[in-house]
Structures are given as structure tokens and as C-alpha cells.
Structure 1
Amino acid sequence: MSYCTAINFMSEDRKALHKAYHDHLYGFPIHDDNELFCRLVLEINQAGLSWETILRKEAGFRKAYDKFNIQIVAAYAEEDRERLLGDAGIIRNRLKINAAIENAKTILALQQKHGSFEKWLELHYPRAKDEWVKLFKNTFRFTGGEIVNEFLMSIGYLPGAHDADCGVYQRVLREKPLWAGDILAKKYL
């Protein structure tokens, strides 16, 4: 069952939480490197947990990780790691916390070389899912197949975030996710 369909069967409080993400964020392109970093960290933290857990803790993540400011997170020291490990507002997993800090450093290097994290992503578009996974595993920490797939789908680099008959699907298309260019080009050829 797709995310679009599953939301309709949730209790009202769960539905409200998921619809806010589904209707306004999921699958829409992101053009801000800090927000791209945020989404990557959230997807990494979802590993082994439900997306609902992450949605409920998103505000805690934003506060704990300095609103996902890449420069600040990349400069975190051991005391910051310990602070994060003690913060009940986030997922307190040392591997995931270390991945966030190291991935922030990696993104800074990508920004230096390519101008932005977004430009680095665009440079590698299009790729098949397995190629993306290999690229991410060679570039970032804690990025397996499901994390990479969900990250790229959630930011408009891979299709599949919404069913074609979902009301949000057309809104996502109007935002011109990269994958839609392939579909629209074929439609008008």
C-alpha cells in the first residue's frame, strides 16, 4: 500500500502528522543545502524505526542540530556528540550522530568543489537507484539502499513519492522535480 493510500486509514492524530509531511514536503524539490542535509539526517535516523517516530521528533532534531546549519554541525566537537547522545528529543544512536557530523563535513567539501550540495546532486543526475546507492556509500556515512532511495525520492530526484492519482502528485510536478523532466519530455516527443 502506498503512502498516499495508507494515510487515509490512519487515526486522525496520525493522519494530521503524516498529511502535513505528505502534502507539503514529500517529493517536492529542495533547493536549500541545509534542508537537503536535514532530510538526509532524518532519513538516516529513520533506519530501523518508523517514519512517524522521525516526524514526531523533527522539531527536536532541528533544535539539537542547530537548525541543520551545515557549517555549525560540521564543527561539532566531542562535547556536542555527548550532548546529542543525551538529548531525548532525537534518536540517540552514536552511529547516526557520528554520521550526521561527518556527513556535514562531507557536504562542506562538496560545496567547496561544486558550489552546493544541490549542484553535486544535479551533477550526478540521472542515475539508476543502484548507481545512486553506490555513489552515496562511497561519499557519505550510514547510507544504505533504503535510505538513499527514500532521500532521493523525498527531494524529487527519483519518482515514486506519490501515486499518479494522488492530489499532491500534480503539485509536485509543477515544482519540476528532476525525474519529471524525463516523463514530460517523453510525453511531448
Structure 2
Amino acid sequence: MSYCSYIPAMTGEKKALHGNYHDNYYGFPIHDDNELFGRLIMEINQAGLSWETILKKEATFRKAYHQFNIKKVAAYTEKDRERLMADAGIIRNRLKINAAIENAKSILQLQKEYGSFEKWLDHHHPKTKEEWVKLFKKTFRFTGGEIVNEFLMSTGYLPGAHVESCPVYKKVLKARPAWNSKVKSQNSKAGNK
């Protein structure tokens, strides 16, 4: 069952929570490194839990991790780790907290080498899911296959966030996701003839 067909069956607060994410964020490209980092944090923290749990805690994740500011998170000390471990508003898992901090440091390095986290992703696009997983495991912490797949699908680097019959699918295409770049470049070449 796709996320798109799952939403209409929901009701109340659950539908509003998932509906907002599905309709306005899922599969859309992100062009801000801090927001890309934030999505990575959220996907890592979802491991073993429901996405609903993470969506409910998004505001407290933002607050706890300084609005996903990469430089600030990379500079976290042991005191910050303890603060995060004591914060009931987030997922209090030492491995996931350590991954966020170490991944922020890795992203700072990528920014130095490539100009931005987004440019690093663009530099390696396109890849198969398996190739992406290998690259992420080499570059980041706590990035297994499902985490990498969801991160890349949710940020427009891999297709599959929406089924073609979903009304949001066309909105995502207009936002020019990276996975559709091959089609875009073929269309632009055809337009130049």
C-alpha cells in the first residue's frame, strides 16, 4: 500500500499530520542544507519507530537540534549529548544522537569540498538505491538501506514518493526533483531542435 493510498483512509489529527507531510513535503526537492540535514535526522530517528511518531515530534526535534543548524550541531559537546538524552521531546537514543552530531561534522566537510550538501548529492546523482546506500554508509553514520531510501525519496533524489495517479505527483514534477532530471534534459534537448 502506497503512502498516497494510505492517507485517505486516515481521519482527524492523524490525517492532518500525515496529509500535510504527504501533500507539501514528501518527494519535494529541498535546496537548503540545514533542512536536508534535518530530514536526515528525522529519517535516522524513524528507524524502528513509526513515521507518525517522528512527525509529531518534528517541532521538538527542531528546537533540540538548533533548527537543524549544521554548524551548531557539529559543535555539540558532551553536555549537549546529555541534554539531548534528557529531552523527552525527541528520540532519546544515544546512537541516533551521536549520528546526528557526527553526520553534521561530515556535512561540514562535504560543504568545504563541494560547496554544499545539496551539491554533493547532485554530484553523485543519479545512482541506484544500492549505490546510494554504499555511499551513505561510507560517508555517514546510522544510514542503513531503508533510511537512505526514504531520505532520498523524500527529498526528490529517488522516485517513488507518490504514485502517478496521486494529485501531488504533478506538483512534485513541477518542483523538478533530481530523479526526473534525465527526462528534463531530454525534453530540453528536444525543445532546442
Asked whether the two chains share a fold, i.e. TM above 0.5, the reply is: yes
Q: 1:96-132, CA deviations, whole angstroms, 9 ceiling, x for partnerless residues?
A: 0000000000000000111000000001000010000
Q: What residue is the counterpart of 1:62 in the other structure?
A: 62
Please give the alpha-carbon distance, in whole angstroms, between the structure 1 residues aligned to 2:15 and 2:185. Answer: 35
Say yes or no: does 1:27 pair with 2:27: yes
Say yes or no: does 1:141 pair with 2:137: no
> Normalising by structure 1, what TM-score?
0.97
Q: 1:45-78, CA deviations, whole angstroms, 9 ceiling, x for partnerless residues?
A: 0000000000000000000000000000000000
The amino acid of 1:95's aligned partner reads L
Please give the alpha-carbon distance, in whole angstroms, between the structure 1 residues aligned to 2:113 and 2:155. Answer: 22
Please, which runs of 5 or more residues in structure 1 have no aligned partner? none
The amino acid of 1:114's aligned partner reads Y
The amino acid of 2:144's aligned partner reads G
Partner of 1:159: helix, strand, or coil? coil
Please give the alpha-carbon distance, in whole angstroms, between the structure 2 residues aligned to 1:52 and 1:137. Answer: 25
Please give the alpha-carbon distance, in whole angstroms, between the structure 2 residues aligned to 1:59 and 1:48. Answer: 20
Say yes or no: does 1:153 pair with 2:153: yes
Partner of 2:82: helix, strand, or coil? helix
Partner of 1:156: helix, strand, or coil? coil
Shift of 1:182: 2.4
Q: 1:6-34, CA deviations, whole angstroms, 9 ceiling, x for partnerless residues?
A: 01111221000001100110000000000
Q: What residue is the counterpart of 2:101 in the other structure?
A: 101
Partner of 2:28: helix, strand, or coil? coil
Say yes or no: does 1:73 pair with 2:76: no
Please, which runs of 5 or more residues in structure 2 have no aligned partner? none
> Normalising by structure 2, what TM-score?
0.95
Which sits farther off after the overlay, 94-103 or 12-21? 12-21
Q: What residue is the counterpart of 1:13 in the other structure?
A: 13
Matches within 5 A, 1:30-49: 30-49=30-49
Question: Structure 1 stretches (4+) deviating beyond 3 angstroms?
Answer: 183-189
Say yes or no: does 1:172 pair with 2:172: yes
Partner of 1:88: helix, strand, or coil? coil
Paired residues, what number?
Answer: 189
Please give the alpha-carbon distance, in whole angstroms, between the structure 1 residues aligned to 2:145 and 2:74. Answer: 24
The amino acid of 1:8's aligned partner reads P
- Identity percentage of aligned residues: 69
